[in-house]
Amino acid sequence: MLAMVLREIGAALVPEERPDPDPGPGEVRIRVEACAVCRTDIHVIDGDLPQAVYPIVPGHEVVGRVEAVGAGVTAPRPGMRVGVPWLGHACGHCAYCETGRENLCDAPGFTGCTRDGGFASHLLAEAAFTIPLDARLDPVATAPLLCAGLIGWRTLRMAGDAGTVGLYGFGAAAHIVAQICRWQGRRVFALTRPGDRDAQDFARTLGAAWAGGSDEAPPEPMDAALIFAPDGNLVPRALGALRKGGRVVCGGIHMSDIPAFPYDRLWGERSVHSVANLTREDARTFFAVVPQAGLVTHTRTYALTRANEAVADHRSGGLRGAAVLVP
């Protein structure tokens, strides 16, 4: 097998030939068909996540076929198409797992962070944490749904029944959320990097009622603001753009420090929430919605050996949608 390995924080990914791994009890070996690049992969590369281990093969938006199964695995079966998301393990017995909140597990495992991920031709995954996928789906188009879609879905659900939703940072997650909002009958305001006309035009093609820079005031107060950009300065800015009772939801795993802000930004029963990881139930509900909402992902494909280029393009913010690696 071929893997693109991050040997230390801040280093370039390097190709490495390895023997095909043998699945242990409860595991499956997956032949990767496509793996999208996520902002979280950049955080792993930059050393922003204290739980990350090195060396590591990044990548947690994986679509592939099961090649072999370990002892005790009855599903998925060899030949089945599955997805492998960020949450790769939960203990199953802590207080969070026992109350349906496995995303907050006290002893979790994360694909491409604490265990090798999908920037490779093959990977091992816990069978119980794979997501069954329709064999007819396009692997490249589906890969971004495994995190950008799932985290976007969880973030949007935390916004409740908000009618007008602001999306701060119009990348892989926001371009999916915008389509869901349109399907649900919500209005979307897209707030991009200041001066990024291309991203603003892209947002309008996906149904945004208004698009402008994050330094601009939207045309009217919003019911909710979803922040996908890892910039803590956006939190007080988004609070200031909300109606009373509005909610800011931070969808990223890492964000720069949030600056001090006056209490009147929060007063009026406004609130700030964070999204932590995802659950298998999120995957079940989201993938039921995908065909109903007619979601279309916008992607740019790269050969696996061009992983560094794909990461750089994602980091620059110049992509329309998601970068996807194909072995």
Sign of CA dihedral 318, 275, 261, 160: positive
Q: What is the pTM of this model?
A: 0.95
As a dihedral over the C-alpha atoms of residue 314, residue 81, residue 139, residue 284, rounded to 10 degrees, the angle is -70
As a dihedral over the C-alpha atoms of residue 123, residue 127, residue 128, residue 130, rounded to 10 degrees, the angle is 50
Distance CA 327, CA 305 (A): 8
Q: Are 170 and 190 in contact, with CB atoms under 8 Å apart? A: yes
What proportions of the chain, in percent to the nearest 5, are helix, strand and coil? Answer: 30, 30, 45
Burial label, 40 (beta-carbon count in 10 A; 0-12, 13-18, 19+): buried
Backbone angles phi, psi at 67, to 5 degrees: -100, -35
DSSP-derived pairing of the beta strands 62-69 and 27-36: antiparallel
pLDDT in tens, the chain (327 residues): 999 999 999 999 999 999 999 999 999 999 999 999 999 999 999 999 999 999 999 999 999 999 999 999 999 999 999 999 999 999 999 999 999 999 999 999 999 999 999 999 999 999 999 999 999 999 999 999 999 999 999 999 999 999 999 999 999 999 999 999 999 999 999 999 999 999 999 999 999 999 999 999 999 999 999 999 999 999 999 999 999 999 999 999 999 999 999 999 999 999 999 999 999 999 999 999 999 999 999 999 999 999 999 999 999 987 888 999 999
| Angle (CA) 60 61 63, round 5° | 115
